[in-house]
Each structure stands twice: as structure tokens, then as C-alpha cells.
Amino acid sequence: MKQDVSPAQLRRVFGENLTRLSERATSVSQLCRDLGINRTQFNRYLKAEAFPRPDILYRICQYFDVDARILLEPLDGIKSQTQKGSAVRELSGFLGGLSAGLISPAALPDGPYLHYRVSYFDEGALSCHLFTLKRDEVGVMQISGFISRVASERVGFGKTMPMRRYRGIVFRQMLGFSFISAMDRVPLMNLGGFEPNYLGNPRFLFGSAISTQDVRAPSPLLLERLEPSLAMMIRRRHDIGIHPRGNYPALVRGYFDKHAPMR
């Protein structure tokens, strides 16, 4: 259980943020006049002795081009999240007509999926991990997932969730979909594409991807859409990880035997 944060600790976060933001000003007195804040009261904010009223907080946020998260979150964390969000919006805008907003729920439903590929460590094994597809508030199809613990440890990323997490975006193509994804804390990206209805089965999507870890040739991939229920997650949890090809269903095994046969 996380420890409760005291009001004094919360005020300290805001005070430290305001101190850093104020460093941009050439004169603190002029800054206080611009914000319409009494200098004494401003010093109380800096010393973590008080929180601003909502109207004053609004003026501070407008002046420094930040949002109300400066009350509770360190400034560096806010900037990092904002930069990532801006990068996603910039990429989505750059790709224009490929925008994920054009993908209908019927064509590619939100929910959990399994991602299969040949293991980097053993061509006789498949690597499987879980990810989710979910549209954001403007309709962009977002990818969020974690590589399996065993795969992460083998490549030296460790087993903690922040080190294993990756995110990305899906875009509409003339035939099927394309995607780009990247690890949160490791300079590793994947780019690829996939089409629906492998062998006429609407639960499976097939395609290929290339990783910046190995750019020599695309690798086949297979996606399986799961029922979004706790019972399904529990039942399929043993598929996640790295296992011999023979451990997987015939449809999955057959796809990789055809497109990535063992030498």
C-alpha cells in the first residue's frame, strides 16, 4: 500500500515547481504584478506554506503555459508526458490520411490481443505477449502493452513493468493496417503492418514487422483478438512468454511453419 502524502508534501511540490517557473522572470516583483498576486502571498507559495486559490492558480497556469498538474506533480514529469503527447499528435498529423481516426470499431475492435512472433533466441519457439488497442478521445487507435518478463530479462531490460512497457499507434492502409510502436524507456522501435481474417478467421490478423534491433528483414507476426473478460485473461495467461512452437494451437503453429520455417 502506498503511503499517504501529507498536505505539506503536496505544497512542497507546488512550491518547487513555482520556483523553477519563476526563474524565467527577470523581476519577481514584476512577475507578481503581472499575476496580480501579493508579493508576501507569492513567497508563501514558494515556501510551501499555502496553496493558491483556483482563480490565482488559473492565472499562474495561463502565464507559464502549464496546467493544474503543477499542484501535485514534479515539473519534469509533466514536461515528459506533454512532450510524448505532442510527439504522438505530431506523428498522427504528419501521416494525415493514414489517421487512425478512420478505423471503424467493426474493422478493428478495441480490446486485448495476443502478439505472436518467432523468438529472437530460439527459432523453434514463439514469443507471445499481451497488448491492448484503444481509441483515445479524438479517435486515434493507441497501442499499449508489455513484452513478456522472460523476453525482457533475456535482452537485459529487466522485469519491472516500466522497463517492459511499449506504446504505439495504428493507422489505416488500403489493405489492412500499419503500426509504429516504441518502448517507453529503451531506444527500440517496431514498424509493420497486418491484415484481418487469417484463413477466414476474424479473430486472427496476420502480417510482418521490422525492429530497429534487427533491420535485416521483416519478421512474420500473428495477432489474436481475445474476449475482453477476466476469465479469458486467466485462461490465456500461460500462453504469454517464450514457448516451443508445438505448445501453441495448430493455426498459430502452422502460420509460422509456413512463413518462418525452421532451418
Contact 188/182 with Cβ under 8 angstroms? yes
The residue extents of the domains of the chain are: 7-73, 98-259
pTM given for the model: 0.63
Q: How far is the C-alpha of 130 from the C-alpha of 237, rounded, in Å?
A: 9
Q: Over the chain, what is the mean pLDDT?
A: 84
In the predicted structure, residue 196 carries a pLDDT above the cut 60: yes
Fold match between 7-73 and 98-259? no
* CATH fit for domain 7-73, picks 3.20.20.140, 1.10.260.40, 3.40.190.10, 3.30.56.10: 1.10.260.40
8-state DSSP, 3: P
Cell numbers describing residue 120: 529472437
Among 47-61, 172-186, 236-250, name the most confident range: 236-250
In the predicted structure, residue 1 carries a pLDDT above the cut 50: no
Q: Which helix (H) or strand (E) holds 114?
A: strand 111-118
Instruction: Give the pLDDT score at 14.
Output: 86
Q: pLDDT tens-digit profile of 25-79? A: 888 899 999 999 999 999 998 888 888 888 888 888 888 888 878 887 888 766 5
Beta bridge partners of 116: 128, 222
Q: pLDDT tens-digit profile of 250-259? A: 999 999 999 8
**160 or 227: which leads in pLDDT:** 227
What is 98-259's CATH number? 2.40.160
Average pLDDT over residues 103-126: 91
Exposed/middle/buried for residue 217 (C-beta within 10 Å: 0-12, 13-18, 19+): exposed
In the predicted structure, residue 124 carries a pLDDT above the cut 60: yes
**233 or 95: which leads in pLDDT:** 233
Q: What DSSP assignment string belongs to 200-260? A: TEEEEEEEEEEETTEEEEEEEEEEEE--SSHHHHHHHGGGSEEEEGGGS-HHHHHHHHHHS
Q: How far is the C-alpha of 194 from the C-alpha of 115, rounded, in Å?
A: 11
Mention every residue, 6+ apart, whose C-beta is less than 8 A from residue 94.
Answer: none
